[in-house]
Amino acid sequence: MNYGVYQNVRDAAWRCLLDAGITELPVSVTKIARHFDVNIIKNSVHDWLKPSQSGISFQAEDGTWVVVYDDSDSIGRKRFTIAHELGHILLGHPLREGERHTRVFNKDRPEVEKEADMFAARILSPACVLWALDLHTPEEIAERCQISYTAAQARADRMALLYSRQMFLTSPIERQVFQAFKPWIEQQKSRPE
């Protein structure tokens, strides 16, 4: 499979959601992984992670992408870990030779870690969808997006800024994402409280 299909983090998350056919919350990270032929493996199967790691991704000899995640983490954390690793893969972050004849991402690059986190937050909690559902608090965002409270808090801060500036649907790609989610959003709005 090719990697680095997306270059720009800002548009990458939207493109990823569109390409993988994601139309509702919580966003299915396994559906995205399947779309891009990425194998998702629980760490409890092989115990490949070092104690300090919550997830890794690498390219096997045959070119297959593999993500290993710590399945003992909370659901919100597990989802963020997988989304973060998908970010490294889809943003085409630089690789170096690793163990077991694989290539792994260079961990000495704080900016790529930041990019992968941004990508993860944006695919798991797309701003235009939160806006359409009028979600503001970390509690609401954590529940609807199935992310950790910490991740939801950061997203809520970002959303507060976007709400104050009414910065939604300004990009054509974001408008496409909104259209893809629209039937599901309408369903949510007509649901009795």
Residues that bind Zn ion (CB under 5 A): 113, 116
Instruction: Read off the tokens for 193.
Output: 């409280």
Alpha carbons 175 and 155: distance in angstroms, whole number: 20
Q: Looking at beta carbons only, is 49 or 133 nearer to Zn ion?
A: 49
43 in Cβ contact with 33 (< 8 Å): no
Q: Looking at beta carbons only, is 24 or 113 nearer to Zn ion?
A: 113
Alpha carbons 126 and 154: distance in angstroms, whole number: 13
Q: Least Å distance between CB 117 and Zn ion?
A: 8
Alpha carbons 131 and 126: distance in angstroms, whole number: 9
Residues facing 69 on adjacent strands: 42, 55
Q: Looking at beta carbons only, is 86 or 116 nearer to Zn ion?
A: 116
Q: Looking at beta carbons only, is 25 or 68 nearer to Zn ion?
A: 68
Q: Least Å distance between CB 29 and Zn ion?
A: 15
Q: Looking at beta carbons only, is 116 or 127 nearer to Zn ion?
A: 116
Q: Least Å distance between CB 70 and Zn ion?
A: 13
80 in Cβ contact with 120 (< 8 Å): yes
Q: Least Å distance between CB 84 and Zn ion?
A: 6
Q: Looking at beta carbons only, is 11 or 113 nearer to Zn ion?
A: 113
Radius of gyration over alpha carbons of the chain, in Å?
17
Residue 32, CA distances (Å) to 69, 91, 123, 135, 163 in order: 15, 14, 10, 24, 28
129 in Cβ contact with 25 (< 8 Å): yes
Q: Least Å distance between CB 28 and Zn ion?
A: 21
Q: Least Å distance between CB 157 and Zn ion?
A: 22
